[in-house]
């Protein structure tokens, strides 16, 4: 009868959807979808600033233009400040992992309100302050969200699911472009020119805040805090299987084996040991360098200041440059989605990054050469090159740095790793956002040649030097980076599996007896 009872449990697991594969990870996708509304905020907030300061009424109201002539230096200063102070706030917030996403969403909303109420007697100071406060929220969200999602994903689809990060960024940027375009076409003057774009930030913030009430905590984090029963229950929930299912038990055994190794090997872990411990330092170097290169790939300069960049290649008039920017946003979303859902787990991380860097570099060289040889007026060929460029960006250096950094850090040092990566991303993001208007004015076509050199000479070479992480679990990263010997890891996993099987036997017998009664 015991065997019959176990068989009945297995049959009920299959019929409840636990054994099905079509929607096996639907709860993980839902979690990523909710958590990444915060990343829509990230994308929207980074894209909206450049479009707002490009509006004629904004320039006139805040003294950048007298209606006929533009003070270019002042325009560059205000553009770079409005865009870059967001990154400054985010940099100072990127220092933790387990802060509540809900609380930081509220912090972001306060910043959005400050930006929205600017105008009249409330000058640019409100926008600057609001951008800094919103940046604090965005920085914390960008540090927590990738860790939360990565720790809940099965390794088979982790690249695809964590890649949703960049899709959500692209969606946010695209929304900002089209809202600014709509404003330029239908609202020529009045405070609504900036209040509608800045106020719209509250929509994804609300979606995230309410959605967070429907998701569960990370099983890996719960296990690291000793809440084993809750961790196993949440893991089974996310996998849509029974806690007794062999694959859930095996995955949980791997998690616990890794955590036990980390507890034994790194008792009393401090910042020094976290950064300089065996197999750790190189991971932090990779995390910093990969975001340094990503920020200087040229995409963020185009993304933040798309209206100005398209004006520089001949798209005169606010509406024309914003329309070209909107199309750029659509291309980016479509290209990112195609890559994340169909290519990220087939090409591998290294090859995707290499092809992406080479493609971007070649296209930037072509754009620079065209601008040098055939200066604007409007050239559709150069716009097309930028659209193709963002396709290459979206197949590698757009989504993969976050995926890669989420791959390489173990649970024990993950909060240090992702906080460092996030702080690096925002720091270099701030620098690029601050200097781009000045570089664009001073260098002209040479700006594109500079980015092309960075893409090929830096990013393509770096892609060939880092280890492949495709298809590897978080726990296998310790083996890849030399923190743990492969033989020891296998022995620990087998030992934990035997313990879990032993623990499950009495529970299974009791359940069978209950069913018999």
Burial string for 82-108 (b: 16+ CB within 10 Å, else e) reads bbbbbbbbbbebbbebeeebeebbebb
Q: What is the per-residue pLDDT for 64?
A: 63
479: left (phi over 0), alpha (psi -120 to 50) or beta: alpha
Q: What is the dihedral of CA 180, 181, 184, 187, to 10 degrees?
A: -70
Distance between CA atoms of residues 283 and 263, nearest Å: 19
Give me 314's structure tokens.
Answer: 């001949």
- On whether the CB atoms of residues 470 and 345 are closer than 8 A, the answer is yes
pLDDT tens string 387-406: 888 889 888 888 788 778 87
Distance between CA atoms of residues 314 and 333, nearest Å: 24
Q: What is the per-residue pLDDT for 254?
A: 87
Sequence-distant (≥ 6) Cβ neighbours of residue 8 within 8 angstroms: 515
Distance between CA atoms of residues 226 and 504, nearest Å: 19
Distance between CA atoms of residues 187 and 180, nearest Å: 10
Give me 317's structure tokens.
Answer: 């008039």
- On whether the CB atoms of residues 419 and 140 are closer than 8 A, the answer is no
> How many other CB atoms sit within 10 Å of the CB of residue 246?
14
pLDDT tens string 142-184: 767 877 787 888 877 776 776 677 778 888 888 888 888 888 8
Per-residue pLDDT of the chain (517 residues; tens, 9 = 90+): 444 443 443 444 444 444 456 678 888 888 888 888 888 888 888 777 777 777 777 767 666 655 555 444 444 444 444 444 444 444 444 433 444 688 888 888 998 898 888 776 777 778 888 888 888 888 778 767 877 787 888 877 776 776 677 778 888 888 888 888 888 888 877 888 888 888 898 988 888 888 888 888 888 888 888 888 888 998 999 888 888 888 888 888 888 887 887 677 556 667 676 777 777 888 999 999 999 999 898 887 776 566 667 766 666 656 666 677 778 788 888 887 887 777 766 778 888 899 999 999 998 898 888 778 776 655 677 778 888 888 898 888 887 887 788 788 876 777 678 778 877 887 887 788 778 878 877 887 888 899 999 999 999 999 998 888 877 776 677 777 766 666 777 777 778 777 777 776 655 455 444 444 4
Distance between CA atoms of residues 397 and 88, nearest Å: 22
Q: What is the per-residue pLDDT for 266?
A: 59
Q: What is the per-residue pLDDT for 515?
A: 46
Backbone angles phi, psi at 162, to 5 degrees: -70, -25
| Collapsed DSSP state (helix, strand, coil) of residue 65 | strand
Distance between CA atoms of residues 28 and 154, nearest Å: 9
């Amino acid at each position: 009868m015991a065997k019959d009872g176990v068989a009945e449990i297995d049959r009920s697991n299959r019929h409840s959807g636990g054994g099905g594969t079509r929607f096996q990870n639907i709860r993980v996708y839902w979690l990523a979808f909710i958590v990444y509304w915060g990343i829509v905020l990230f994308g929207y907030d980074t894209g909206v600033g450049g479009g707002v300061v490009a509006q004629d009424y904004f320039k006139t109201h805040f003294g950048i233009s007298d209606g006929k002539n533009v003070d270019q230096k002042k325009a560059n200063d205000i553009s770079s400040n409005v865009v870059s102070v967001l990154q400054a706030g985010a940099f100072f917030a990127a220092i933790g992992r387990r802060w509540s996403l809900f609380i930081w969403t509220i912090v972001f909303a306060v910043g959005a309100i400050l930006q929205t109420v600017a105008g009249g007697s409330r000058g640019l100071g409100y926008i600057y302050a609001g951008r800094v406060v919103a940046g604090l929220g965005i920085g914390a969200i960008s540090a927590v969200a990738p860790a939360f999602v990565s720790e809940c994903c099965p390794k088979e689809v982790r690249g695809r699911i964590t890649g949703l990060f960049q899709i959500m960024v692209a969606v946010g940027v695209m929304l900002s472009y089209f809202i600014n375009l709509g404003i330029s076409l239908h609202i020529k003057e009045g405070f609504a020119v900036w209040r509608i774009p800045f106020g719209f930030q509250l929509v994804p913030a609300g979606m995230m805040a309410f959605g967070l009430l429907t998701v569960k905590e990370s099983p890996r984090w719960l296990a690291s805090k000793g809440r084993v029963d809750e961790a196993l229950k949440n893991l089974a929930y996310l996998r849509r299987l029974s806690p007794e299912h062999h694959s859930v038990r095996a995955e949980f055994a791997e998690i616990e084996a890794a955590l036990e190794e980390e507890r034994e090997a790194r008792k009393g872990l401090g910042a020094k040991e976290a950064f300089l411990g065996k197999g750790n330092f190189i991971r932090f170097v990779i995390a910093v360098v990969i975001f340094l290169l990503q920020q200087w790939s040229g995409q963020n300069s185009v993304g933040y200041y798309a209206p100005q960049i398209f004006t520089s290649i001949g798209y005169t008039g606010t509406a024309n440059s914003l329309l070209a920017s909107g199309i750029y946003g659509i291309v980016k979303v479509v290209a990112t989605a195609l890559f994340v859902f169909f290519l990220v787990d087939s090409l591998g991380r290294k090859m995707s990054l290499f092809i992406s860097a080479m493609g971007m570099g070649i296209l930037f060289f072509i754009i620079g050469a065209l601008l040098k040889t055939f200066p604007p007026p409007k050239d559709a060929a150069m716009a097309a090159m930028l659209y193709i460029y963002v396709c290459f960006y979206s197949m590698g250096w757009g989504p993969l740095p976050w995926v890669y950094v989420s791959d390489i850090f173990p649970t024990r040092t993950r909060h240090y790793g992702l906080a460092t990566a996030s702080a690096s991303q925002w720091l270099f993001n701030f620098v690029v956002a601050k200097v781009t208007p000045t570089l664009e004015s001073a260098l002209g076509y040479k700006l594109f040649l500079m980015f092309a050199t960075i893409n090929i000479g830096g990013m393509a070479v770096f892609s060939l030097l880092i280890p492949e992480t495709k298809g590897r679990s978080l726990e296998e990263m310790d083996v890849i980076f030399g923190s743990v010997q492969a033989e020891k890891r296998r022995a620990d996993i087998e030992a934990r599996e035997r313990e879990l099987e032993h623990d499950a036997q009495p529970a299974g017998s009791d359940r069978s007896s209950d069913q018999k009664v």
